[in-house]
């Protein structure tokens, strides 16, 4: 299962990408997280549906200091493969 998420709110400059990387790695997910020019954060994560759903829950909660107002979610089966979960700059 692959998650494509756009996290909206106060999510840049508040440790959100590092938080996402940390929780995704603890869940055993692979993928990437990066800031987008519009101030949101994009997350792509690959794993089983249960761990993807847990990541979604944690994305909605956000990192300390963040204020998540919305998470746009798309889940689908895909052939995307990542070696790790990385922050993309």
Q: Is 48 a catalytic residue?
A: no
Q: Which of 35, 58, 33, 43 is nearest to 5 (CA)?
A: 43
Q: What is the DSSP letter of 19?
A: H
Q: Is 17 a catalytic residue?
A: yes
Degrees (nearest 5) of the Cα angle 71, 78, 2? 30
Catalytic residues: 17, 35
């Amino acid at each position: 299962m692959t998650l494509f998420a756009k996290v909206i709110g106060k999510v840049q400059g508040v440790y959100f990408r590092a938080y996402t990387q940390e929780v995704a790695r603890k869940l055993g997910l692979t993928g990437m997280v990066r800031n987008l020019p519009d101030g949101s954060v994009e997350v792509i994560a690959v794993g089983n549906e249960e761990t993807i759903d847990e990541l979604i829950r944690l994305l909605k909660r956000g990192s300390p200091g963040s204020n998540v107002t919305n998470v746009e979610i798309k889940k689908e089966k895909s052939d995307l493969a990542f070696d790790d979960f990385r922050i993309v700059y």
